[in-house]
Amino acid sequence: MRRYILLGVERPFSPSTQYQLQTVYDLIETSEHSFSLLLLTVLPPTHILIPPSTYALEQASRTPPSYNQQQEARLLLQKTRAFFQQRGFEYDDIEELICMGAPADEIIKVANERHVHLIVIGNHGHGFWQQCRRFFFGSVSAQILKRAPCPVLVALPAHSNRTAQLVSWYIHSLQQYLQDHTQLTVLTAEQVAQQFLPKGKRSVGRPEIKAASQALEMLSQQGLLCRHEVRGEIRYAND
């Protein structure tokens, strides 16, 4: 059975996007499984922030993307494909998809239809319209984390790539663990840092504990864990 990684690619092709692609490549390189890639970019419909209270607005909200938008999306996916093919991926192991709609809805839809094993998304979007969309609908990453039918890896651009890689590693490891263990589980940063220590690491240090703490806090903010303070110690439970 073919294993799929669904990679949600956001415009524009930026350093954050490159970091996201490198994260996927590193993950596949260290995996014992072979994967095919589904490269997905979503073009949101016009006026996604405006409720269609009139016929005119309703028609506008259904307006398909312009030719330039579609060309930009194709170019983005071509650049993404080139990134992986330059690193040894076969042409037939990469599929490009362009959808129109709400990004979280389309990503979840494709993940279900194609029986995806892992979703990888970025955490972009700090402009005005992205902040408005987050205010009204919640962040795309938060919606996907709550509704995804498989593990989700959020590739976080950070000042330190090493720190970002550690945080991503712990998030992915925790998501897989929580999917496999539905009974009540209480976790601390020190415990997570030790239990899911990355391959090649011999001991836990401050960077690992800090990254594990950030991963736990992010999953708590997404509603996947509950944060408790017990006698001055921060603990997280899946209740």
Helix axes 206-221, 161-180, angle to 10 degrees: 60
Confidence of residue 46 (pLDDT cuts 50, 70, 90): low
One domain, residues 142 and 190:
no
Say whether pTM exceeds 0.85: no
Listed residue (110, 87, 89, 93) closest to 41, CA to CA: 110
Domain of 23, in residue numbers: 1-157
Identify whether residues 60 and 116 lie together within a single domain: yes
| pLDDT above 90 for 172 | no
Decide which of 121, 141, 157 is a domain's last residue: 157
Locus of tokens 């009974």:
183
Whether residues 152 and 183 share a domain: the answer is no
What pLDDT score was predicted for residue 118?
92
Dump pLDDT digits (tens) for 90-126.
Answer: 999 999 999 998 889 999 999 999 999 999 987 654 4
Same domain, 104 and 146: yes
pLDDT of residue 158: 52
Q: For the segment 118-168, what is each residue's pLDDT rounded down to a tens digit?
A: 999 876 544 433 444 444 334 677 788 888 999 888 876 654 467 777 888
CB 42, CB 147: distance < 8 Å: no
Q: Does residue 144 share a domain with residue 166? A: no
- Residue-wise pLDDT for 63-75, tens only, equals 677 888 889 999 9
Q: What's residue 78's pLDDT?
A: 93
Q: CA 101 to CA 110: how far, in whole Å?
A: 12
The chain-wide mean pLDDT, for the chain, equals 80
Task: Say which CATH number the domain at 228 has.
Answer: 1.10.10.10
Pick from 138, 157, 176: which residue ends a domain? 157
Q: Which of 122, 157, 192 is the last residue of a domain?
A: 157
Domain count for the chain, please give it. Answer: 2
